[in-house]
Amino acid sequence: MITKPKGCKDIYGHEAKIWKYIDSVVDSVMEKYNYTYIRTPIFESTELFHRGVGDNTDIVTKETYDFIDRGKRAMTLRPEGTAGVVRSYIENKMYGDLNPVKVYYSGTMYRYERPQLGRNREFTQFGMEVLGSDDPMADAEVISLAVNIYKMLGLKGIKVKINSLGDTESRNRYRDELVKYFAPHINDFCCDCKERLAKNPLRILDCKVDRENDILKNAPTTIEYLNEESKKRFDEVKEYLDLLQIEYEVDPTIVRGLDYYNHTVFEIEADIKELGNNNILGGGGRYNGLCEMLDGPKTPGIGFACGMDRLANALELENIDLPLNEALDIFLLYVNEDEKKYAAYITQELRLAGFTVDTEYTSRSLKSQFKQADRLKAKFIAVLNSEDLDNNEIKIKNTKTKEEEIISLDALIYYLDEKLGMETEEDFEHICQCEGEDCNCTDCHCHDEK
Ligand code: HAM
């Protein structure tokens, strides 16, 4: 048997419905914030990630899927989405458009990592990027957009952690300080960190091998080395977050594992023990130099990406009841060949009228067909019977109330419309909009908790 590659996943059935639901929420929230969809290639020139993500990052040195194509070009499966979006921004001269350019994406990314819960080799991210604004308001908007997606999905206990790496001057000061701090102890660190000390000491801070080393844990933090301008900028970001009522915590240990960041960096965590160290649902930050690094015009940028695999896990682990609409409106059953043809015809008519419909395809016994209707959670079933059909009638049963009726075939669409419409209204009555505060209604679930 040929099996899937290590660290990859097949997503199907109930899980696929969760993914589609997340996608729909992401689309709708992104649209509300006026972000437009962008789709860039899954593979790009290797050079893009070396220059964009950073030659000394773990992602580029150890985790990329690189290949030489048949034209002998060095290519890499994208390990993240930002570099590709910025490449596209430059190549398509989007800077000539209305600024800022606000885009969002969703797609598979590839990193050669040790697979575990919440960490795969092929994984999906959705993310957004804002190019062309250096305003702290944009930083707060990106953070609030991410938080609101999690809230819309019903996730509880998410934590926003923010930090600032400051501008180039602050980062350089911090870099020098780190070298001074780590140099006397560097022999206690892994081989990679020894190399990082000279090339990129910030990367020692997110080393997966030396994570527990006390020297690393007590390293100086970025915040202590921010110059006045960077401090002021960070304060403004926090003021906007307060204004938008986004709760956050300043965590000076956040430096992020990609080289392009400066100023604001942030991560959003789920409060779920089972996810262990992989409870960071998403992260992002500002990358004001990236566009120039990739030969584009000087353009500030900020963005965020969320791991869909981790998010879907978190929703399952928190037992969030998502409105997945898994039920069929109606399932049509039949016994003989004539009825089967009717089933094919009526199924088609009902689908064209907008109902979710299925029927039997393998001519199984009626008992098996009833079981199938049950498995598909059909709200109505219709048992086609030649005698009824000859009279232009159909027998229909509400699977919840067990009520059975024989109705005219001509009235079927009208009948379902009315019955299913009523059901939606009934369901709607139970969704309380008051969020439990000062609620006077009598039949919503928030009263159960009071
Ligand atoms: P990142 O922190 O490398 O940032 O990835 C963002 C999220 O992708 C992580 O928080 C995690 O949820 C998910 N993720 C990363 N690696 C894996 C993996 N191996 N398996 C499953 N999920 C994973 C970025 O990628 C930046 N491009 C974010 C950004 C956008 N910064 C600015 N704009």
**CA 281 to centroid of ligand 1, rounded, Å:** 8
Of 422 and 362, the structure prediction assigns the larger pLDDT to 362
- Positive/negative CA dihedral, 24, 30, 33, 39: negative
What integer is the mean pLDDT of 166-180?
94
**Measuring from atom 16 of ligand 1, which residue has the nearest CA?**
119
Going from N- to C-terminal start, the domains of the chain cover 13-167+246-317, 168-226, 330-424
User: Mutate which of 49, 80, 106, 315 to test ligand 1's pocket (most atoms within 8 Å of Cβ)?
Assistant: 80
Confidence of residue 217 (pLDDT cuts 50, 70, 90): confident
DSSP 7-23: T-----HHHHHHHHHHH
Give 106's strand partners. Answer: 126
**CA 307 to centroid of ligand 1, rounded, Å:** 6
How buried is 246 (Cβ within 10 angstroms: 0-12 exposed, 13-18 middle, 19+ buried)? Answer: middle
Of 382 and 99, the structure prediction assigns the larger pLDDT to 382
User: Mutate which of 26, 57, 121, 123 to test ligand 1's pocket (most atoms within 8 Å of Cβ)?
Assistant: 123
Confidence of residue 441 (pLDDT cuts 50, 70, 90): very low
Give the number of the atom of ligand 1 that is nearest the alpha carbon of residue 121: 19
**CA 56 to centroid of ligand 1, rounded, Å:** 17
Instruction: Outline where 95-162 has alpha helix (H).
Output: 136-152
**CA 143 to centroid of ligand 1, rounded, Å:** 15
Give the number of the atom of ligand 1 that is nearest the alpha carbon of residue 83: 27
Per-residue buried b or exposed e for 180-210, using 16+ beta carbons within 10 Å of the residue's own CB? ebbeeebeebeebbebbbeebbbbbbbbeeb
Three-state DSSP class for residue 114: coil
What integer is the mean pLDDT of 311-331?
92
State residue 421's pLDDT score: 86
Q: How many helices (H) and strands (E) does the chain have?
A: 16, 16
Confidence of residue 199 (pLDDT cuts 50, 70, 90): confident
**Measuring from atom 2 of ligand 1, which residue has the nearest CA?**
283
- Measured from the Cβ of residue 85, the count of other Cβ atoms closer than 10 Å reads 24
Give 397's strand partners. Answer: 381, 404
Q: What are the backbone dihedrals phi and psi of residue 42, each rounded to the nearest 5 degrees, phi first?
A: -75, -30
Confidence of residue 422 (pLDDT cuts 50, 70, 90): low
Q: Which two tokens stand for residue 278?
A: 């992989």
pLDDT for residue 429 is more than 80: no
Instruction: Provide the CATH topology of domain 330-424.
Output: Rossmann fold (3.40.50)
Q: Could you give the CA distance from residue 219 to residue 226 in angstroms, rounded to a whole number? A: 16
**CA 283 to centroid of ligand 1, rounded, Å:** 6
Give the number of the atom of ligand 1 that is nearest the alpha carbon of residue 287: 32
**CA 424 to centroid of ligand 1, rounded, Å:** 38
Confidence of residue 57 (pLDDT cuts 50, 70, 90): confident
State residue 442's pLDDT score: 47
Residues with CB under 6 A from ligand 1: 80-82, 111, 113, 118-120, 123, 125, 127, 129, 257-258, 280-285, 303-307, 309-310
pLDDT for residue 416 is more than 60: yes
State residue 96's pLDDT score: 86
Q: Could you give the CA distance from residue 73 to residue 155 in angstroms, rounded to a whole number? A: 44
What integer is the mean pLDDT of 309-313?
95
Q: Could you give the CA distance from residue 349 to residue 278 in angstroms, rounded to a whole number? A: 48
What is the CATH number that goes with domain 13-167+246-317?
3.30.930.10
Q: Could you give the CA distance from residue 85 to residue 291 in angstroms, rounded to a whole number? A: 10
What order do you get walking across the sheet with 380-383 strand by strand?
357-359, 330-333, 380-383, 393-398, 404-408
Nearest to 186 by CA among 175, 178, 194: 194
**Measuring from atom 20 of ligand 1, which residue has the nearest CA?**
119
As a whole number, the mean pLDDT across the chain is 91
Decide: 19 and 308 in contact? Cβ < 8 Å: yes
Give the number of the atom of ligand 1 that is nearest the alpha carbon of residue 310: 12
Q: Could you give the CA distance from residue 124 to residue 277 in angstroms, rounded to a whole number? A: 18
Q: Which two tokens stand for residue 220?
A: 């100086």
pLDDT for residue 336 is more than 80: yes
**CA 206 to centroid of ligand 1, rounded, Å:** 14
State residue 325's pLDDT score: 79
Nearest to 351 by CA among 335, 329, 318: 329
Give the number of the atom of ligand 1 that is nearest the alpha carbon of residue 258: 3
State residue 55's pLDDT score: 87
Q: Is the peptide bond before 136 cis (omega within 30 degrees of 0)?
A: no
Q: Which two tokens stand for residue 149?
A: 């997606």
pLDDT for residue 24 is more than 60: yes
Per-residue buried b or exposed e for 143-160, using 16+ beta carbons within 10 Å of the residue's own CB? bbbbbbbbeebebeebbb
| Tens digits of residue pLDDT in 355-407 | 999 999 988 999 999 999 999 999 999 999 999 999 999 999 999 999 999 99
**CA 132 to centroid of ligand 1, rounded, Å:** 22
User: Mutate which of 87, 310, 311, 315 to test ligand 1's pocket (most atoms within 8 Å of Cβ)?
Assistant: 310
Give the number of the atom of ligand 1 that is nearest the alpha carbon of residue 118: 21
**CA 305 to centroid of ligand 1, rounded, Å:** 6
**CA 163 to centroid of ligand 1, rounded, Å:** 17
Comparing 165-179, 197-211, 357-371, which segment has the lowest mean pLDDT?
197-211
Give the number of the atom of ligand 1 that is nearest the alpha carbon of residue 256: 2
State residue 372's pLDDT score: 96
**CA 409 to centroid of ligand 1, rounded, Å:** 54
Q: Could you give the CA distance from residue 330 to residue 394 in angstroms, rounded to a whole number? A: 13
